[in-house]
Amino acid sequence: MLENSKILITGGTGSFGKCFVEMTLKKFNPKNIFIYSRDEMKQWEMSEKYKDDERVKFIIGDVRDRERLSRCLDNIDYVVHAAATKIVPTAEYNPFECVKTNIIGAMNVIDTCIDKKVKRVVALSTDKACNPVNLYGATKLASDKLFIAGSVNSNNVRTKFAVVRYGNVMGSRGSVIPFFLKKKNEGVLPITDSRMTRFMITLNQGVELVWHTFNDMLGGEIYVKKIPSIKVLNIAKVVAPKAKHKIIGIRPGEKLHEQMISSEDAPHTYEYKDYYKILPALNNLSKDQKRIGEGTKVASDFTYSSEKNTDWMEDLVLQEWIEENQTKIEGI
């Protein structure tokens, strides 16, 4: 599907964007990938890697700027929406900046993609959008709802939208692994709560889920990959076995455990081999057999939460991953 196509990725200089560009160029050989982001320094650094690859183009722009976004979507086939304000405490203290990027930015992406007749759009979401307790999660939930409605409520028959929901992306900028790696030489690691658990997904898995979504989507679905959980305390022990731990308490907006599918989502959720799919409740589309395919409906009280997960990442697996990806982990 992505072969010989024109793809635009918002927030393309972030951890996911860099991985998506590298993997997609190798696997699908698209005609062009346009990196749309507002950080000129990150673009300059990334452009050094692709200075001899005419397929990769860089555009300075902000998803808050609808006119700029619209101008850059001419003749684009597929869009990956990865731009976001995502640091939980930052969002709590700067709420409207988060709203402008995560909600108004999402509206701009939806409207301009419809206007420019983009074929398919996949938006990146987060486990924090499920039963949110923080502003970041609330804005991403609103964003998810906007993308779903963009597919099922408009008269548009060309542009289709879907969402992928992730857990903690291992090694990404601002996440727990690079934070602990940066702190380990101090001899003390701050732990918010010894009981805290998180879902863990690699960047490669995240990219592969986006590829699958582009191929499978009919519009309005949320895709949730089956991934392991781990205790944050275990991450600290793997990263710095000799370090002491200082319990500092949960930060503003944090959850003790994360959830990707709630019991309220369960009536519209179907299970597949490697993922779950939440179908849109609007217009009875959660009963659409084409969207269901070979899926099996989950139990009415089903939840997918990090503390009740049946799949747990072993310490040795995490240690091996860190050793193999040391040079790729951002922020250390």
| Residue whose token pair is 């310490």 | 315
pLDDT value of position 80: 98
Domain boundaries, given as residue ranges, for the chain: 6-167+200-226+262-304
**What is the arithmetic mean of pLDDT over 45-74?**
97
289 vs 121: CA distance, rounded Å: 22
Going through 48-93 in order, the beta strands assigned E by DSSP cover 56-60, 78-81
Contact between 198 and 230 under an 8 Å Cβ cutoff? The reply is yes
Average pLDDT, the chain: 95
Burial of 22 (0-12, 13-18, 19+ CB in 10 A): middle
pLDDT value of position 293: 96
**What is the arithmetic mean of pLDDT over 5-23?**
97
Choices 3.40.50.720, 3.40.50.300, 3.20.20.210, 1.10.10.10: CATH for 6-167+200-226+262-304: 3.40.50.720
Contact between 130 and 255 under an 8 Å Cβ cutoff? The reply is no
The more confident residue out of 3 and 252 is 3
Contact between 66 and 116 under an 8 Å Cβ cutoff? The reply is no
Cβ neighbour number for residue 81 with a 10 Å cutoff = 26
pLDDT value of position 173: 83
Q: What is the pLDDT of residues 226-239, one digit of tens each?
A: 999 999 999 999 99
Q: What is the pLDDT of residues 302-323, one digit of tens each?
A: 999 999 999 999 999 999 999 9
Q: Which residues pair with 213 in a beta bridge?
A: none
Apex CA 150: angle with CA 147 and CA 156, to 5°?
150
- Known active-site residue 128: yes
pLDDT value of position 33: 98
Of 6, 18, 86, 128, which residue is the catalytic one?
A: 128
pLDDT value of position 174: 81
Task: With CA atoms as reference, report the closest residue to 280 among 156, 153, 154.
Answer: 153
**What is the arithmetic mean of pLDDT over 287-295?**
95
* Per-residue pLDDT at 185 exceeds 80: yes
Apex CA 212: angle with CA 211 and CA 217, to 5°?
110
* Per-residue pLDDT at 257 exceeds 60: yes
107 vs 3: CA distance, rounded Å: 28
Distances 259 to 128, 208, 219 between C-alpha atoms, Å: 7, 21, 23
* Per-residue pLDDT at 332 exceeds 60: no
Apex CA 103: angle with CA 167 and CA 20, to 5°?
45
**What is the arithmetic mean of pLDDT over 256-283?**
96
pLDDT value of position 283: 87
Summarize the chain as % helix, strand, coil (round to 5): 40, 20, 35
Q: What is the pLDDT of residues 203-221, one digit of tens each?
A: 999 999 999 999 999 999 9
Apex CA 88: angle with CA 84 and CA 89, to 5°?
125
Contact between 173 and 130 under an 8 Å Cβ cutoff? The reply is no
Q: What is the pLDDT of residues 133-165, one digit of tens each?
A: 999 999 999 999 999 999 887 666 789 999 999
pLDDT value of position 291: 95
Burial of 158 (0-12, 13-18, 19+ CB in 10 A): exposed
> What tokens appear for 25 in the block?
């160029």
**What is the arithmetic mean of pLDDT over 259-279?**
97
* Per-residue pLDDT at 277 exceeds 60: yes
Contact between 219 and 286 under an 8 Å Cβ cutoff? The reply is no
